[in-house]
Structure 1
Amino acid sequence: MGKISMDTKQLKIYRLACEVLAGKLSIKEFSNLIGKSYRQSQRIVKRVESEDFLGVIHKNVGSTPHNKSPERIEALIVDLLKHKYNGFNLVHFREKLEAYEHIKISKSSLHRIATKHNLVKSPRRLKRRSFKPRPRLPREGMLVQFDGSDHVWFGEQRSDLIAAIDDATGKMLAAEFFHGEKSLHSMKVIKEVVDKNGIPEAFYMDQAGIYGKVDRDFDSQISRAFNQVNIQLVLASSPQAKGRIERLFRTLQDRLVAELKFYNIETMEEANKFLKKDFIDRFNLQFSVEPQEEEKAYRKNVFGRLDFVFCKKERRKIGVGNVFSYNSVTWLIDEKRCYRGREVNINTHIDGSQSFDIMNKEIKPKAVKSQRIYGHNKRAV
């Protein structure tokens, strides 16, 4: 049969299949991680069980298809690149050829064919000043890089992609598409990072604000939330300072856009479903690296309910009669205890709902209307 070798992707699939056989992963989790259907994943696990590592290597690898001449293979590759995989760069296209079309071809041969038929995707590259890469931090959770990108990701309209990556591994921790620039959108992605992994030591963000625009409300809200859970906020003074997430977005504007187009995804709901259920796991499997140290720096949440941390908070002073004003409405705290002179927090949560608390004690005020009687302001329900 000759010499057969496993590439990095096949090795990872083999290791994950072994984890399924050991009972550490379910078939569903395995299929999400390798980007294949449930039935395909079942077959892979069965082959690994019976054939060991040979189970992840396609049967035709190392042999030339008997029914295809070089001219027919070239014609097929050209047709696939022109139509089915239109918009893919050659590296991305070559991965798809091997994984889904079962065509194994060298980089040089593919580039020769694409050049011959004027199919090489050549993005305009600006001449940039070179910067020495900052060494990765040694442990996961020591630093999370966070940013947003406004782009035509799917369909014809621009939308915002907010993403977070771990500095030590390059792993995409969370990402989501949104319309508009609101601090609550960023809060949602940050909370997802914390919910999945724990509390990191620091977040690295652009000093100019997310999307490169100064947003005082975002700055104050994010600083307040990070102070509540003891996360250090590190501000980058230039795009080069947060190079890893800048490179992530350049990669996503190439690969993710091509895949969204390939699957005919044109709505935000479909795009977010694809991103979270498929793309992120495959991206991390291919591009993330092992940290220098095994111990993680993420901390357990000991600060209570995170939906009261990662939200938009506004404060109002409580007046005579346990009342306060918010959004042109007078609110009454219907309790025997007097709160005059204290401050009430008005919390707008990620889902748009609102709650109220005084020094972290949740209260249920009632909206009332003001009535002027005998020259005095009296309030009635």
Structure 2
Amino acid sequence: MSNKELHRLPVIQAVIEKRLRRRDAASQLDLTERQVQRLMNRYRESGAVGLTNARRGQPGTHRIDDALHCQILTLLRENYVGFGPTLAVEKLQERHGIAVSVETLRCWMIADGLWIPHARRQPRIYQPRQRRDCLGELIQIDGSHHDWFEGRAPKCCLLVYIDDATGRLMHLRFCQSESAFDYMMATRNYIDKHGKPVAFYSDKHAVFRVSQAETRRTGMTQFGRALHDLNIDLICA
């Protein structure tokens, strides 16, 4: 019996023994008098067992049929390997006319090994990159958008050139946006002052890397072509 049912037992016994009025019992148990009368009748027929939930341990009334459960898992294994629960629900509804909640499908996929929750996934292990040995050999470049002038001028972008070997700031340039033209101007100023590096190390911004996946291997951006002409490698993190 649950704690709630154990709490009901002495109250119902007191009503049956006429030590407590049915109205007062209903108030204590937060029930109606009719519900208290039903509990009294069940107690007289079956004793304390009559106060327990009769449906405990039985399948729920909204439980999905086992055959449909197996059909859904079979469709997921054959057609949607690697799909997350949300996308899988959309495909089941769109292509097969099967409606199921995301959370229900998530529980099924976890139990069947088709989906691993993010909390249980092993963290990715990245091989640490060793710093270069010489000053000016590899230069890290990036842009940072910020209110650099604290409201005294419009927000802008700061282009930063950092030496990989020493972590020293080599060159800075304020500009309106992180564009290819501004990177070219900043790079020209850097080369005039420090000479050519072996390579630049950047993120995957559209200035450095072609956005279209089909031409990413062979295509080059304007900034990439300029570095290629200068015989400077570009490494995208």
- Please indicate the TM-score interval, normalised by the length of the shorter structure: 0.3 to 0.5
Structure ranking higher in helix proportion: 2
User: TM-score scaled to structure 1, two decimals?
Assistant: 0.25
> TM-score, normalised to structure 2's length?
0.39
More strand by share: 1
Which of these two proteins has the greater Rg computed from alpha carbons? Answer: 2
